[in-house]
Amino acid sequence: MDGGHAHASETSLHAEDKGYHKNLKPRQIQMIAIGGAIGTGLFLGAGGRLNAAGPSLVIAYAVCGFFAFLILRALGELVLHRPSSGSFVSYAREFFGEKAAFVSGWFYWINWATTTIVDITAAALYMHFFGNYIPWMADVPQWAWALTALIVVLALNLVSVKVFGEMEFWFALIKVAALVAFLIIGTYFVIFGTPVDGQQVGISLLSDNGGIFPNGLLPMIILMQGVLFAYASIELVGTAAGETENPEKIMPKAINSVVFRIAVFYVGSVILLALLLPFTSYQKGVSPFVTFFGSIGVQGVDVIMNLVVLTAALSSLNAGLYSTGRILRSMSVNGSAPRFASRMNKAGVPYGGIAITATVSLLGVPLNYLVPAEAFEIVLNIASVGIIMTWATIVLCQIQLKRWADKGWVTRPSFRMFGAPYTGYLSLLFLIGVLIMVFIDSPLTMLVTAIASILMVAGWYACRTRIRQIAETRDGYTGLVTAIASILMVAGWYACRTRIRQIAETRDGYTGMSPVVANAPAETFKK
């Protein structure tokens, strides 16, 4: 590959970004990065995990947070190499070809399609909480609340990227404000030893309830898959980069600040939760923050916190529809998704892809009707597999970018994945380990993943002709051209080799067709 080839390929890859409006502002990008790192996995999922693993959950959040930061750094390098709304799917196409883009794109879509089901399920659970104060809300079926959440967020997402950015800005701001309030209040209780629900707080609470590992080490390890889900939206900032001006200035700041947010908001919050109440006080399906505020006896605080976690669920749903709309359009333009997914309105919103995801999200409505108690965990395990595949794709693309840079084919941006490629290899090993745990914990997830993989293989063979036809029309397409050129060169050599050899034999210094050393210039022998 030479510079011309790389440039032509880059030009063709930018074609999928046509039509988008670069209307996301720096403050919105910053909050999208924050919102991606603070979601339903913390606000709702942490309760059940604390109950299962105890205070050792802090270690799980810290470990997963470290690898989430590494993967975000890898994505940051790719984004500054070439910003694209197709994000890592576009990078998979650039570095590994159409098959890799096809597989990674559909696994990502599975991730978000199931995550949106998680989000509407979480929203429905939060709405039922208000039934403690407003009786008629408890009488509304869980599936009805789930459907309402989907319709409202879908309608707002279809307006424009400005509306999406503004919604995410305020959603993220509310989440951050709530966590800061919890951290301040919780720290006050721990420092001054103020009892919660009639029990002492602090380190003594841990020792009186089985220590850091009350249920052993295994629950913490198994729960890594669920903890990983808590960080599932961090890659959204890569998709948003394609719709903002000057991503090279905005992205490094947004990404580097994530490690601080992980340390404070995730690890800090879980530490405080463990120090404020016995781990057995937290319940599956109930936000641990709501549990705490309800325990301190302040009227109405638990209602406010429940509104906040409802906001977190709607924020994640909003982000899922936004992201899959862009990813599906990137795939559709290149032949890997239905043509309908490439449709875009005048405001630059890819409504086709968003509508497809929303349609699949409707499956969450009957799921909430048939198995309302298990709906959250069922889709969580399936979404975890999609997250793992997505993050692995990001890491592999960054490793390939470094390899190409080492060969001089491309230039790495100044914002880089530190410790590459070894940090990338370490991240892949971690993701493989978590994937194995997912399959051990949930055989159903392994079955669903196997079925999805088979469907993807079938889908590739169904789509490959169209994908290749589209690829052949791109500037910079070299697949068939290179093959033909190579054949012509071989044929040309055999057609010309007799004359080439005859001319060579007349030169001064000629030493035969297979010289031991390279033929010396004639001037050497004249001396």
What single-letter DSSP state applies at residue 518? P
One domain, residues 398 and 497: no
Domain contains 194: yes
What local confidence, expressed as pLDDT, does residue 188 receive? 94
One domain, residues 384 and 508: no
Output the average pLDDT for the chain.
78
One domain, residues 184 and 323: yes
Domain contains 361: yes
Task: Give residue 441's pLDDT band: very low, low, confident or very high (50, 70, 90).
Answer: confident
Domain contains 484: no
CA-based R_g, the chain, Å:
27
Distance (Å, whole) CA 30 – CA 26: 6
Amino acid at 422: Y
What single-letter DSSP state applies at residue 520? P
Say yes or no to pLDDT of 478 above 90.
Answer: no
Domain contains 485: no
What local confidence, expressed as pLDDT, does residue 485 receive? 53
One domain, residues 132 and 236: yes
Range of the domain at 516: 491-526
The label of the residue with tokens 């869980």 reads 142
Say yes or no to pLDDT of 235 above 60.
Answer: yes
Q: Rounded mean pLDDT of 287-295?
A: 85
Which tokens go with 238? 């890569």
One domain, residues 510 and 407: no
Distance (Å, whole) CA 293 – CA 317: 25
Better-scored residue on pLDDT, 79 or 505: 79
197: buried, middle or exposed (CB in 10 Å: 19+, 13-18, 0-12)?
middle
Residues 6+ apart with CB under 8 A from 60: 49, 53, 220, 221, 223, 224, 227
One domain, residues 428 and 513: no
What local confidence, expressed as pLDDT, does residue 189 receive? 92
Longest distance between any two alpha carbons in the chain, whole Å: 106
Q: What is the pLDDT of residues 43-82, one digit of tens each?
A: 777 888 999 999 999 999 999 989 988 998 998 899 888 8
Model pTM above 0.85: no
Distance (Å, whole) CA 124 – CA 309: 11
Domain contains 478: no
Q: Rounded mean pLDDT of 257-266?
A: 77
Range in 208-222, 244-258, 347-361 with the lowest mean pLDDT:
244-258
One domain, residues 504 and 428: no
One domain, residues 377 and 522: no
Distance (Å, whole) CA 142 – CA 122: 10
One domain, residues 461 and 498: no
Say yes or no to pLDDT of 446 above 80.
Answer: no
Range in 87-91, 342-346, 518-522 with the lowest mean pLDDT:
518-522
Output phi, psi for 373, to 5 deg: -75, -35
Domain contains 481: no
Decide: helix, strand or coil at residue 204: helix
What local confidence, expressed as pLDDT, does residue 9 receive? 46
One domain, residues 302 and 275: yes
What local confidence, expressed as pLDDT, does residue 522 receive? 47
Q: What is the CATH number of the domain that holds 318?
A: 1.20.1740.10
Answer positive or negative: Cα dihedral of 248, 250, 253, 255: negative
Domain contains 377: yes
Which tokens go with 76? 């940051």
193 and 201 Cβ atoms separated by less than 8 Å: yes
38 and 261 Cβ atoms separated by less than 8 Å: yes
Say yes or no to pLDDT of 426 above 90.
Answer: yes
Domain contains 138: yes
Q: What is the pLDDT of residues 356-407, one digit of tens each?
A: 888 888 876 676 666 665 655 666 667 777 888 889 999 999 999 999 999 9
What local confidence, expressed as pLDDT, does residue 513 receive? 55
- Tally of structural domains, the chain: 2
One domain, residues 500 and 388: no
The label of the residue with tokens 């509104």 reads 307
One domain, residues 109 and 22: yes
